[in-house]
Each structure stands twice: as structure tokens, then as C-alpha cells.
Amino acid sequence: MEHKKTHILSLKAQISILIALIVLTFMAIGVTKIEMGAYSLAVILVIAAIQAYIIMAYHMHLKFESPFFRVMVILLFILFLAVLFVTFLDYIYR
Amino acid sequence: MSESIHETKEPSYLEVKSHKGIWNWLLTTDHKRIGLMYLYAMITFFGVGVILGLMMKLELIAPGKTIMSAQTYNSFFTLHGIIMIFLIVVPGLPAVFGNFFLPILIGAKDVAFPKLNLLSWYVYMLGAVVALSSQFLSGGAPDTGWTFYAPYSFKTSTNMLPAVLGAFILGFSSILTGLNFIVTMHRLRAKGMTWMKMPLFPWALYGTAWIQLLATPIVGITLLMVVAERTLQIGFFDPALGGDPILYQHLFWIYSHPAVYIMILPAMGVVSEILPTFAQKTIFGYKAIVISTIAIAFVGYFVWGHHMFTSGMSGVALYIFSLLTFLVAIPSAIKVFNWIATLYRGSIRLETPFYWAASFIFVFMIGGLSGLVLGSLATDVYVHDTHFVVAHFHYIVFGGVGFAFIGAMHYWFPKMYGRMYDASWANIGWLFFFIGFNFLYMPMFYLGILGMPRRYFDYVDKFHNGNIVSTIGSWVMVFGLVVIVANLIKSARSGPLADDNPWNGKTLEWATSSPPPLENFEIEPVVTEGPYEYK
Amino acid sequence: MTNTSAHSEHYDAQIPKMGMWLFIFTEMLLFGGLFIVYSIYRYIYGDAFHLAAQELNLTIGTINSMILLFSSTTVAIAISSIQRGNKKLSAIFIIITMVLGIAFLVNKYFEWQVKIGHGLYPGSTVLAGFGHGDTLFFGLYFAMTGLHALHMIIGLVIWGYALVFIQTGKTTQDRPAFIENSGLYWHLIDVIWIFLFSLFYLIT
Ligand SMILES: [Cu+2]
């Protein structure tokens, strides 16, 4: 009875999401061919994060859900990065 | 509102029989019955844990070998830790009182996923059986302590696999319970119960559930890594293969420090329920308690390193962890001040639950303040791995959670069974327990400062006096415990019938009958004001 | 503090969805623990990780990435089909998804077999000869892709149930929660793979 607005993506939209994801994958592979030293890891992770964002936003419908889900996913990533950072405080300065 | 209800009284949840005999329990999806099933399982395990503790104390009554060998002592403290931590204090309050009272306190009929709730109980029992089987399989009982520190946990020839897998399965049960509670609180609150009108025990469970959900997977994967280490020699934590044993400690405490808050937050929630009722006064600083609950849950995630001050961590990490540990003491202290302020000028009724709540504050303060000694770097290096630590965490884990648990038992007993216990025996039990508890653990602070290490079955003569006091204290405490349990068991069967609201409480559980009907309320409640509005 | 109100029984679609998301959080952190371990050892043994990664077959890894990306799209189509009420189309796309998932696992199986054939597996003397960095790299490689493959197998079982539920009418246009949640799970596996692919295959 509540708001019955399950958002359904069109086939066209889904195909373009797929193409975007494939293009990004080959971009990441291409980056490994260029010599960038430590930066290549950063670029690859950024590309992976963009892909993850696309999948979570569209395939996993986060874009159309209540803000609670989005906020929690963001907080989860912040939590993970913070834990990683604090752990590294030991290893970097050891 | 209660005049008409008694005439058309629905049968209580204990009278509804949907299956035959024991299946009423084993197949139930009623959150109240599931809560009781957890309770009975835990009391059984607790009995085993207490006996192990008693025997260890008896071993320590005199220097040298008294009743057991060193290896037996090692396996006893390991099993004592596994039982008490993974089977009782971590799941304890949420699984028993959370299950029973969370839906009632927020005016719901059940949790969001009743079948999953039953499954959690079975997963819990499975984990318990697997963990305890480590004692009986050939190979010998585990002897690593409950922390399973690498590299010893994959070098020892004892039965580590069942112990570690059991802990993993128990973690899974804990995750499912937390998941269930979060969804329940988000979706099933009664009409009119906004977040800021929710009682404090549900709030505490909410913070707890998030920790259960977000910290347990880390220890889960860590335990799986230990399993992989033992079976496949991957080398995650094996210095011989390039791994770092300290990384195991990091991962273990990333969960196990927040686990301390899984234990203590619900205990704080229970105390925040009991005190307003027995002071007949609104809780002081409701919002401050809510915020400090969430703050503890969040900051508590980043203080794990205080268990590793002597492990060889980097200096920078030491300072940060010490600082964060001091920060997390602030919200805990806020709560203590709020409880005291709640009592100030209240009309206090000296009943058994109040004694437990008040003594909770006492032991929690001792435990908390001694925690600061361990949280600061210089003093921790001095008392690390001594009996001081043992005293500290028993004051928090046993003093905190144990007192809150028994207090909750006496507070909600009339609601759960519809019968009242004998108050004078309950008070006698409390008195012996409280005195015995302090005689048992207080000397350990002293012994720790003198330098007595933990986890040894033997000691030098200069520690003798303190240990005698401590062992005698353990007898007094267990005598109190026996009185308490015997009184409750007898009263559950034949105590006088209890009123619906024997303590004049204001939260929703007191608005339904004792014991509650299957779906908790005959008429769905609608909430119009905050939880502790005493006029 | 209580008043009365009438009984109202209604299906709350948010409940299964929220439950599934919370479960996904725990899955993310389960892998998160391994990613922490990976990061630490990559930091300590950076050079060895670079050399060891060249042993992995980028072509097979890329093919598997493509398979999973495709399967994510077929899952999305299966879900939107059931939401539009087309049960048959939904079932067809679930079957395609399962075929893709099996293809991924077969691929993975052969990839593992080649590695094991070369003696690159935990506990082997060949690997121990290469040194600590290589040992940990391949230990993590097998642990993380293994756990990921285990999730794929669980995912396949779940899709099997989804097919049954479509047949029996337990999952319908009005109650698509089971398929939606299975989809969330499958997409999660995809997201994790993207990071595994980046961190194991894309090191130069
Ligand atoms: Cu701690």
C-alpha cells in the first residue's frame, strides 16, 4: 500500500551500464601497460572504485533506495578505510 | 485501561502450545520462548564455566601443584575463557533479554525475522557443541587461552580446529541476532515510538547490534585464517614463512575489543531501565545516554591496540591507541554520572533489582578506572599480563555484565514467568555474591601490582596471602550464586503469581500481562510520550 | 502511555531488503579482513608481489571479469523481468546467469590447476624457495579467490532455489524479494571480484 515505486531500469540503460563497466576494465588493464610507478596502483583502485560505484548504484539499486542504505554503505567504507589506516600506523612507523 | 483486559485475557505465551511436548520449544519462532531457550543453555554453560573457575582458584590456594597439573590448568583457563566469552557474555544479554524484551519494549509482535531467530539459536548450539568437542577429542584440550594467539595457535598439537571453528560459528549466530535486531528496530517500532522515544535498553541493543554486525566478520575471517594456517600452511601469521604474528593480534582485537562493548552496552542498557523504575524518576539525560551509547560503539572500534602495548607495535601506534582509549572512557563516565543523577532526589525503592543495578555501578567504576591504568602506556607495561589485568576484566565483564544479567533476571522475572520470587532469599544471595565477588577479585589488583603473572598454575610464596583471600572469596560468591539460582528456579515453578506491573514501571513491557500473550499485546500499543515519564 | 489502534497486517518490502543489505555489510567486512592482510603484506613485500603477480594469467583473469560483468547484467534483466511480471523471461535469464557462473568456476579451476602444476600452492617447497613475498602472495591469492569461488558456488545454489520459487509461485511480481536479494548477493560477488582482479592481476 505504501509508495509502490520499484524503480525498473530499461534494457537500454542496462546495456550501457555493461558497456561502461567493460570499458573501465580495459582502461584498468591499459593503465598497467603505462609506467607510472606507485601511481598506477592508485589509478587502478580509483577505476575499481568507479566500477563498484556503478554496480552498487544501479545494479544494486542504491540510487533508488532510501538514504539509510546509501549512508550506511558510505559509513561502512569509511569505517574500513579508518581501520586500515589505524592498522598501518603500526606498520609504517615500525 | 486495564479493567476490561483481564476479563477477556488471552492465554500467555507459555500456555500457547502449537506443537507436542518439547517441540513447543525446539520449533518455536516466538521470540520469548527463544529467549528462554538461550537462557537455559547459557545457565548450563555458565555452570560449567563457574566450576572451572572454582577449580582454578582452588589450584591457586597454595603455591605448587595443589589439585591439577600445569597442562590441565592451561586447558582450564582456555575453556573457561571460551565458555565465558563466546558462549555467555558476548551473546548473553542480547540473546536472552534482547530476544525476550526488545520486541515488547518497542511494541512489536515479534522480531523482524522470527525463523532466522530460531536458526540463530541452533547455530549457537552448534557452535557450542563444536567448541566444547575440542575437550573430548583425542589430541588434548586446547591450551592457548581464549585469544588463540598466533603462532602458538597453529603450532600446538592440541585440538585447536574445533575450538576455532566453534568460535567462528558462534560469531555467525551473533551476526544473525544483530541483523535481526537492527531490522526489527528500524521497521517494527509501535506507532508513535520515534527513535527518541525508544527506551534505553533497545538503544543499547541497537549500538550493540551494529558492532556485532561490523566487527564479528573480522574475527570470523581471522579464525578462518588460523584454520587455513593449520591445515594448509599458508603463512599468514607464521614468521617462518614471512607472516607477522602481530597482525593476528591486530585482527583479533579489531573484533575483540568492540566485543567488550557488545558485552557492556546491553548491560548499561539494563541498568538504565532498572534505575528509573526504582527511583520512580525520569532518567537523567536521556539524550546524553543515547549519544554516549553510539559514541562508545563507534570510538570503541578504534582502540583495539591497547591490548598490544607490549607486542612490539610502532611507537606512533602506541600513542594513538592510548589516546583513543582515554577518549572512549568519556562516554562511559557520562553514563555513570547520568545514573547517579537519576537517583538524586528520586524516591528509591530498595528491591533486589535495585541492589544489582547499584552494585553494577560500583563494580563498573572499579573496572573502568583500573582500565585507565591499563590504557596508559607506562603503567600498562608494568602490569601487562599480570593478575591486575585479570582483576580488571573480571570487574568489567563479570562485574558489569554478570551483575546486569542477574539484575535483569530479577527485574523481569515476574514478567517472564508471571510469578514472583522470594525477595529475602534474593537479597541474601545478592549480599553473598557481592561480598564474595569483591573478595575474589580485589586481591588480584594487589597481586598484579606485586608482579604475579596470569595464566600460571604456580606462584612464589610472597603471593600466598592474596591468593588465599581470593580463593575464599570465590567460595562465598558461588554460595551466593547457588542461593540466587535455587531461589529463581523454585519461584519459577511455585512462586506467588505476579502482578502485571509489580515495580510500577513505565516502559511497554509493564503495559501487557504477566506473562505476555503470544503476540505480546492484546491491543497494539500507540506511544505518545517518552519512556520514563514519571509524574 | 498507551492507547489503542486497530490491527493492521501488511507486507513490508523494506524488511527483507534491509536484512539482505546488513548481511552484505558483513560479507564485505569478511573480505575486508583479507584485504587488510593483503595491504599489509603488499606494503612489506611490494617488490616480491610485483614479480609474483606476473605468474598470473591476465587473459584468463580478464575473461573471468567479462563473464562476471555479463552475468551481473543478466541478473539485472532477470530481476526487472520478474518485476514486470514476466516469470518465464526471468527464469531464462537466471539460467543464463548460472551458466556464466559455472563458466567462471571452470575457468578458475583450470587456472588453479596450472598454478598447482607449477608448484605454486601453499606449503609447496617450490614456493618456499621463492621467498616470503611469493609465499604470501600465492597464499593470499588462493585464500581470497578460493573464498570468492565458494561464494559463487553458494550463489549458484541460491539461483537454483530462485528457479524453484518461480516455479512454485513463492516468488512473484508482488513478492520478488527472494530474487532481488539473490541479485544483491550476486552483484556483491561481482564487486568483490573487481577488487580481487585489480589487486592480483593488475600489478606490473
Ligand atoms: Cu580492549
Domain residue spans of chain B: 23-511
For residues A51 and A21, membership in a common domain is answered with yes
| A54 reaches C (C-beta below 8 A) | no
Residues of chain B contacting A82 with CB distance shorter than 8 Å: 302
C neighbour chains, 3+ CB pairs within 8 Å:
A, B
What is the C-alpha to C-alpha distance for residues C109 and C98, in angstroms, rounded to an integer?
16
Residues of chain C contacting B113 with CB distance shorter than 8 Å: 15, 19
- Has residue C3 been placed in a domain? no
> Domain of C77: which CATH number?
1.20.120.80
Q: How many CB pairs under 8 A join A and C?
A: 102
Quick one: angle between helices B245-279 and C14-44, nearest 10?
140
Task: Name the domain count of chain C.
Answer: 1
For residues A55 and A70, membership in a common domain is answered with no
For residues A49 and A21, membership in a common domain is answered with yes
Alpha helices by DSSP H, C118-176? 125-130, 132-168
- Has residue A2 been placed in a domain? no
Task: Look at the block and give the residue holding cell 538461550.
Answer: B38
- Has residue A3 been placed in a domain? no
Task: Name the domain count of chain A.
Answer: 2
Residue B276, preceding bond cis, omega within 30 degrees? no
What is the C-alpha to C-alpha distance for residues B238 and B242, in angstroms, rounded to an integer?
6
Q: Which amino acid is it at B37?
A: M
- Has residue C36 been placed in a domain? yes
Average pLDDT over residues B107-133: 94
Give CA angle at A19 (A17, A25), nearest 5°.
105
What is the C-alpha to C-alpha distance for residues B250 and B491, in angstroms, rounded to an integer?
46
What is the C-alpha to C-alpha distance for residues B205 and B267, in angstroms, rounded to an integer?
9
| A17 reaches C (C-beta below 8 A) | yes
What is the C-alpha to C-alpha distance for residues B153 and B144, in angstroms, rounded to an integer?
6
What is the C-alpha to C-alpha distance for residues B69 and B133, in angstroms, rounded to an integer?
21
Give the Å distance between the CA of B102 and the centre of ligand 1: 27
- Has residue C8 been placed in a domain? no
What is the residue range of C76's domain?
16-202
For residues A20 and A52, membership in a common domain is answered with yes
- Does the beta-carbon distance from B113 to C31 stay under 8 Å? no
pLDDT at B514: 86
- Has residue C178 been placed in a domain? yes
B266-303 confidence digits (pLDDT tens): 999 999 999 999 999 999 989 999 998 888 888 888 99
- Has residue A17 been placed in a domain? yes
| C110 reaches B (C-beta below 8 A) | no
What is the residue range of A73's domain?
65-94
Helix (H) or strand (E) holding B321: helix B315-343
Distance of CA B35 to the CA centre of its chain: 14
Per-residue pLDDT of chain C (204 residues; tens, 9 = 90+): 333 333 345 678 889 999 999 999 999 999 999 999 999 999 999 888 888 888 888 899 999 999 999 999 999 999 999 888 888 999 999 999 999 999 999 999 999 998 888 888 887 888 878 888 888 999 999 999 999 999 999 999 999 999 999 989 888 888 888 999 999 999 999 999 999 999 999 886
Q: Characterise C119 by phi-psi region: left (phi > 0), alpha (psi -120 to 50), beta (else).
A: left
Q: Which of C94, C114, C87 is nearest to C155 (CA)?
A: C94
- Does the beta-carbon distance from A89 to B314 stay under 8 Å? yes
Q: Which of B430, B469, B432, B425 is nearest to B447 (CA)?
A: B469
Give the Å distance between the CA of B95 and the centre of ligand 1: 22
Q: Which residues pair with B12 in a beta bridge?
A: B517
Report, at the CATH architecture level, how domain B23-511 is classified: Up-down Bundle (1.20)
Q: Which amino acid is it at C98?
A: M
| A20 reaches C (C-beta below 8 A) | no
| B508 reaches C (C-beta below 8 A) | yes
Q: Which amino acid is it at C195?
A: F
For residues A41 and A78, membership in a common domain is answered with no
**ipTM reported for the complex surpasses 0.90:** yes
Instruction: Say which of C70, C76, C195 has its CB closest to residue A59.
Output: C76
pLDDT at B52: 94
B228-258 confidence digits (pLDDT tens): 988 888 888 988 888 899 999 999 999 999 9
From chain A residues 65-94, the ones with a CB under 8 A of any chain B CB are: 68, 76, 79, 82-83, 86-87, 89-94
Which of B41-45, B518-522, C62-66 has the least mean pLDDT?
Answer: B518-522
Residues of chain C contacting B179 with CB distance shorter than 8 Å: 19, 22-23, 26
What is the C-alpha to C-alpha distance for residues B461 and A22, in angstroms, rounded to an integer?
73
pLDDT at B136: 84
